Amino acid sequence: MKLQQQSLRLFWLLLFLTILSSHGKAARHANFAAKDDYYDILGVSKKANAKDIKAAYRKLALKYHPDKVPDDEKEKAEEIFVKVSEAYSILSDDDKRKVYDQYGKQGLEMMERGMDPNAGGFGSAGGGGFGGGQTYNFKFNAGSAGGHTFQFDPFSMFQEMFGAGGMGGFESGNFKVHFDGFDGGAQFGGGARPGKPKTAAPKVDWFKDIPNVTRLGKPKYPNEKSKYLWLIVFYDYQHPRSEKAKGPIETLASKISGSYKIGAMNCGRNKDEANFCLELGIDLEDLPQFAFVVAGQHTFYDDSKLPNARQLHEFVTQNMPTDNIRNINSVEHLQERLIEPLLHPSNEKHDAAILLLSDKYETGAMFASVAYQHRDKFLFGESRAKNLALAKEFDLKRYPLLLALVPAGHGDEEYNDEVDLVRFHNHPDLETINKWIDRLHTTQTTLGRRRRQRRKKEVHDEF
């Protein structure tokens, strides 16, 4: 009986959530349908640049394309899809956007009729406050009686934006939007252009076999928990310009010492990968693009010119993370910022504290990479610019000096009553340093386990 009551409650709960979800979707569709301002429709500000407008269109067009929604939502989705396309066709055209910003839809109507909006006898509309225009046919109530029909196809725009075939199977459905009564028949917005049909480029993956370049995709992509730093090239094998990125990436991959990894993401592989690239903020019409990824956060190379290998490397080194490296300028800093957190952690425990004494004025890429890779198990500190007090404290003979501070009894030499030291004596290359730190982790883990076992035994013997 009790089980039946629980099942009944679960049934009513699921029914309530289903009804609530359907009402929520309907409300969202209704709110969107009520929007009339083109900026509001795309969800961008009136100061948005062309890239922001294009990105907003792509995101909404993919979301509301009728082939992307359940059958019971197709009609509403199509209304929104057309409305989004209309907004983009205006705001992506500099001339039309300028007229729209100053005179609204009435100004666009006059512009299409070959009239000067300034002579229309009305003031600025403030960016589209005029209320005409219907959702499906984009009609401005012009009242003129020209014999031409003006056509606009939002599905052709979609296919042009995402390549032939509409990114994997979208069909246009022969959907046409008409502008009746305009003289001339010039095309309004970004509908399908006349000419030869697009021919798909041969699918050659230029980054497939480059040594030290990892092919990435949605199932395999660095996130906030990733151990390594990544420089990623985003490309599409159907974009000829993407091929030009192969040379710089190949050169860079052959020269870097391992302070960061290089990945290649093919945004044109399939629809899922294209959508994933859009979610990451990639402009699919402006490939290749480059991003430096730190803990899942992207910093994009923003120069419009294709970079060479040196420029890419400089871009990475300028954005190396150093926020987890503590600045140590004195013996007091050493105690407060490394030894105390190591011995008396407020939250996470660490195996040891790694300290670098350097004669440089900036943190090097190698140490930044090491600190990032081992951030979960070690504390990191750095003393730069030949700090004399610390050089004397550790009897430094030559820069750089790399050492670890570990709990007393766990190191090679005693520093004070609380901690010992383990010095790094080998050539300071990335691979050797990482192996040294890995051995430290293994040693400290083993010693810590033994220490806990001894304590348990001591407690047991007391009883």
147-156 pLDDT tens trace: 333 345 677 7
The amino acid occupying position 70 is P
Q: What is the CATH number of the domain that holds 401?
A: 3.40.30.10
pLDDT at 384 over 90: yes
Task: Assess if residue 366 is contained within a domain.
Answer: yes
361-372 pLDDT tens trace: 999 999 999 999
Tokens, residue 341: 């957190």
Q: Which residues, at least 6 apart from 253, have a Cβ–Cβ distance to it below 8 Å?
A: 210, 211, 212, 213, 262
Lookup result for tokens 């992509």: 221
Lookup result for tokens 């957190």: 341
pLDDT at residue number 454: 52
First to last CA, the chain: 51
Give the pLDDT band (50/70/90) at residue 73.
confident
Q: Which of 283, 318, 353 is the last residue of a domain?
A: 318
3-state secondary structure of 430: helix
Mean pLDDT taken over the chain: 77
Give the pLDDT band (50/70/90) at residue 347.
confident
φ, ψ at 414 (rounded to 5°) = -80, 135
Question: Is the peptide bond preceding residue 240 cis, with omega within 30 degrees of 0?
Answer: no
Are residues 333 and 308 part of one domain?
Answer: no
Domain range spanning residue 58?
Answer: 28-180
Enumerate the β-bridge partners of residue 352: 378
pLDDT at 176 over 50: no
285-321 pLDDT tens trace: 889 999 999 999 999 998 878 999 999 999 999 999 9
Q: How far apart (Å, rounded) are the C-alpha atoms in residues 410 and 393?
A: 20
Nearest residue to 312 (alpha-carbon basis) of 230, 394, 397: 230
Lookup result for tokens 């929604």: 69
φ, ψ at 236 (rounded to 5°) = -145, 125
Are residues 454 and 331 part of one domain?
Answer: yes
Give the pLDDT band (50/70/90) at residue 331.
very high
- In total, the chain counts a number of residues equal to 463
Mean pLDDT, residues 195-206: 53
Query: What's the number of domains the chain is made of?
Result: 3
pLDDT at residue number 206: 75
Are residues 260 and 124 part of one domain?
Answer: no
Tokens, residue 291: 């991003």
Are residues 313 and 358 part of one domain?
Answer: no
Q: How far apart (Å, rounded) are the C-alpha atoms in residues 97 and 83?
A: 16
Are residues 350 and 313 part of one domain?
Answer: no
Burial of 29 (0-12, 13-18, 19+ CB in 10 A): middle
The amino acid occupying position 156 is S
Q: Which residues, at least 6 apart from 367, have a Cβ–Cβ distance to it below 8 Å?
A: 325, 356, 358, 380, 382
Backbone angle region of 260, left / alpha / beta, with phi > 0 → left and psi within -120 to 50 → alpha:
beta
pLDDT at residue number 292: 96
pTM, 2 dp: 0.56
